């Protein structure tokens, strides 16, 4: 892989921008209505994941490969394509978060549920066909602009004092989560940061391994600071009774943005709402293109870009239609991906490499265990479905770890494949 020569500050900025999106904002705002400052757990877990990523950044940088190429080089193209296909799972969760965000905004404009989904899905598919090299800067601009408005609302409203007390209150409000649901969120988010290709790309693009490490540390620090912003804004407006008429918890952030920006002028609210819509559209289009590329690289037969984008969009739409919360949607599919590849990935980084068919068996064991629990929970009428995320993750990791240790005991001395990493 060719290095982009990014310095530590650039690596940090890109890592933060990859984390600070519609899922982060809308998901934290939605959870704040139920869990108070505890809703910041998604951002805090992401920040902690960055700190862990810093611990393996040097070794990851030296591989010079995205995760599916790393698997392909060590175990053959078949398993590499399999990991690319598995990446579709967690990326579908991210796409579903953008769909949730777009639908929440469109519904504020008066459209019904079904019509909102049709409009948002069509817009994302259309935007994915555009040249995103220029459009991405526009998407990023509107997302950054909304962040500045949130800071303004914090400084001029009651959210500022809430933010100052945020870390202490965060620890208190974590008790509002079921322990299993909280653990699932933390583990799923932290491990995905360490294993997700969208984060790895910036580590691999660093000029030096030192820049990669420092960039991860800076990103973790910045994300810790901004983790409490969405919940603080929402809780501040909620305390003033300004969110009492909220129809959908997913609309907490756009409604808070509209309410808090009134002092900026009559046109500020609609402009920012349009900006958030563009940001959701841009994030959705970018992840849809990445999913389509991963699908084409995972399938041996030739697949047209339109067909692959359609399949990817269908996956995201099906996840969004489940009716889960935004963060819950992402976590529920993250655990399937992590349960499938985490054990073999750690083995690659530590130099404990199996044979190709053994590695494939380990990945398949974890996937079958995780996805079986996921499917059962999806079809179940049980109310405590959130606990199933931890079960899905635990079953996948235990089965893959058991298979890995079984094969590891039968390995010969270090092989050339192991030494290549």
The pLDDT value given to residue 375: 85
Q: Is the pLDDT reported for residue 58 higher than 80?
A: yes
CATH architecture of the region 8-326: Up-down Bundle (1.20)
- CA–CA distance, 196 with 395 (Å, rounded to integer): 20
Q: Is the pLDDT reported for residue 117 higher than 80?
A: yes
The pLDDT value given to residue 418: 43
Q: Which residue has the tokens 């108070």?
A: 36
417 pLDDT tier (thresholds 50, 70, 90): very low
User: Which token pair is 263?
Assistant: 């002092």
What predicted TM-score, i.e. pTM, was given to this entire model? 0.84
User: Which token pair is 282?
Assistant: 């841009």
The pLDDT value given to residue 91: 87
- CA–CA distance, 30 with 329 (Å, rounded to integer): 13
- Closest listed residue to residue 107, CA positions, set 267, 260, 231, 276: 276
List the domain boundaries for the chain.
8-326
Tell me the β-bridge partners of 206: 6
- CA–CA distance, 107 with 128 (Å, rounded to integer): 22
Q: Is the pLDDT reported for residue 86 higher than 90?
A: no
User: Which token pair is 183?
Assistant: 């653990």
């Amino acid at each position: 892989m060719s290095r982009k020569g990014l310095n530590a500050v650039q690596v940090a900025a890109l890592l933060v921008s990859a984390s600070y999106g519609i899922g982060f904002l809308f998901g934290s705002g939605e959870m704040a209505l139920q869990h108070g400052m505890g809703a910041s757990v998604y951002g805090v877990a992401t920040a902690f994941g960055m700190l862990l990523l810093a611990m393996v950044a040097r070794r990851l940088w030296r591989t010079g490969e995205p995760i599916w190429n790393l698997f392909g080089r060590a175990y053959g193209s078949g398993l590499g394509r399999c990991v690319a296909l598995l990446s579709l799972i967690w990326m579908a969760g991210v796409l579903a978060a953008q769909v949730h965000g777009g639908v929440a905004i469109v519904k504020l404009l008066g459209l019904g549920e079904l019509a909102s989904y049709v409009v948002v899905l069509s817009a994302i598919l259309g935007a994915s066909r555009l040249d995103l090299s220029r459009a991405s800067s526009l998407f990023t601009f509107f997302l950054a602009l909304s962040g500045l408005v949130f800071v303004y609302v914090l400084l001029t409203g009651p959210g500022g004092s809430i933010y100052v007390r945020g870390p202490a209150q965060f620890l208190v409000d974590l008790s509002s989560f079921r322990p299993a649901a909280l653990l699932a969120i933390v583990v799923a988010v932290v491990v995905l940061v360490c294993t997700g290709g969208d984060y790895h790309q910036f580590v691999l693009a660093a000029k030096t391994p030192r820049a990669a490490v420092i960039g991860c540390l800076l990103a973790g620090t910045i994300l810790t600071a901004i983790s409490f912003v969405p919940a603080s804004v929402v809780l501040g407006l909620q305390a003033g009774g300004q969110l009492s008429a909220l129809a959908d918890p997913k609309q907490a952030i756009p409604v808070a943005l509209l309410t808090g920006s009134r002092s900026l002028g009559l046109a500020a609210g609609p402009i920012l709402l349009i900006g958030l819509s563009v940001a959701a559209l841009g994030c959705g289009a970018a992840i849809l293109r990445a999913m389509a590329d991963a699908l084409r690289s995972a399938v041996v037969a030739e697949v047209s870009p339109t067909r692959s984008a359609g399949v990817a969009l269908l996956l995201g739409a099906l996840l969004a239609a489940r009716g889960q919360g935004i963060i819950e949607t992402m976590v529920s599919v993250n655990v399937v991906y992590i349960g499938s590849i985490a054990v073999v990935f750690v083995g690659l980084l530590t130099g404990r490499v199996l044979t190709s068919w053994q590695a494939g068996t380990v990945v398949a064991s974890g996937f079958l265990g995780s996805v079986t629990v996921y499917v059962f929970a999806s079809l179940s009428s049980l109310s405590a479905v959130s606990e199933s995320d931890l079960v899905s993750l635990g079953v996948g990791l235990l089965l893959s770890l058991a298979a890995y240790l079984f094969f590891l005991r039968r390995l010969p001395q270090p092989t050339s494949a192991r030494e290549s990493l």
